[in-house]
């Protein structure tokens, strides 16, 4: 991103560490109950440029929306993709999530690019996460309590399993040059090991909470499901559903591609 093109939203220096350590001290809105303070948003040029523009998350996942909010993208528009996610399970997990995330982004792009009411989006973010068993099977969301118990028991008994998340970031380009958009993708892999000593009683008790009923693999690492996990090798937020460090890098890369094209058009 070229210097001088994007104004910074940080017009004043951040509060001192002494002030910032006081509960609620960094809130500029109305007084709020005491509690953990909210951090200031990341003052990165690429994020400053996107604030006030249409940024679409092609997912209904509240966890992904929350993770984007942690880096300062708080006004994300939620437009779940209608892509059926019915690709063949014969694909390698890496390719399966990559194709699915890409198709999710494309589906929302085709729907919103000619939106006459809200205008075209500045950025579309799509993601897909799968849990892959020790034997290489792609695990879907459990469809019944019995299947849920069987799934978690197998993950406990077979050692390490893998979580793959693909992220696709897309932005429209000014030119009519085919295909009319810039696209950047990334696939993150994380290894997860359940505690082999967790009991059948604990698995049943967790299943009864229904926390994992809407999640691939049948558990939520960010919630009660953490009691099932002995260790994680890789990025934790990838297990939740969005590797935020890699996502930020994709955003910078794809938005820089748009700026580079704009500069070429001016030559």
Question: Radius of gyration over alpha carbons of the chain, in Å?
Answer: 21
Query: Which token pair is 63?
Result: 């966890």
Rounded to 5 degrees, what angle do the CA atoms 189, 239, 83 make?
85
> 3, 128, 157, 178: which one is catalytic?
128
Whether residue 128 lies in the annotated active site: yes
Closest CA to 6 of 49, 50, 52, 51: 49
The helix/strand/coil state of 142 is coil
d(CA 185, CA 127): 9
Give one word for 29, left, alpha or beta, with left for phi > 0 and alpha for psi -120 to 50. Answer: beta
Strand partners, 191: 162, 233
Chain centre distance of CA 29: 28
d(CA 14, CA 67): 22
Query: Which token pair is 159?
Result: 């050692």
d(CA 251, CA 243): 12
d(CA 241, CA 193): 17
Q: Where are the beta strands (DSSP E) in the chain?
A: 55-57, 77-78, 123-132, 138-139, 160-172, 181-194, 229-233
Catalogue the active-site residues: 128
């Amino acid at each position: 991103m070229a210097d001088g093109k994007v104004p910074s939203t940080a017009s004043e220096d951040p509060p001192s560490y002494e002030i910032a350590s006081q509960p609620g001290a960094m809130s500029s809105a109305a007084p709020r109950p005491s509690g953990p303070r909210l951090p200031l948003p990341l003052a990165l040029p690429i994020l400053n440029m996107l604030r006030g523009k249409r940024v679409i998350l092609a997912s209904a996942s509240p966890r992904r929306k929350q993770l984007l909010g942690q880096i300062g993208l708080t006004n994300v528009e939620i437009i779940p993709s209608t892509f059926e996610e019915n690709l063949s399970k014969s694909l390698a997990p890496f390719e399966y999530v990559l194709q699915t995330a890409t198709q999710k982004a494309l589906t929302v792009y085709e729907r919103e690019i000619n939106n006459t009411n809200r205008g075209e989006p500045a950025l579309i973010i799509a993601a897909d996460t799968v849990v892959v068993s020790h034997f290489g099977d792609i695990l879907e969301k459990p469809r019944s309590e019995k299947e849920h118990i069987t799934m978690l028991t197998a993950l406990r008994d077979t050692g390490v399993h893998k979580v793959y998340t693909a992220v696709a970031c897309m932005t429209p380009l000014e030119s009519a040059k085919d295909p009319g958009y810039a696209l950047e993708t990334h696939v993150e892999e994380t290894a997860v090991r359940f505690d082999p000593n967790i009991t059948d009683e604990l698995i049943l008790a967790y299943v009864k909470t229904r926390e994992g009923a809407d999640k691939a693999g049948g558990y939520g690492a960010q919630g009660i499901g953490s009691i099932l996990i002995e260790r994680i090798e890789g990025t934790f937020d990838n297990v939740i559903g969005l590797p935020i460090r890699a996502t930020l890098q994709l955003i910078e890369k794809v938005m820089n591609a748009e700026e580079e094209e704009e500069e070429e058009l001016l030559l």
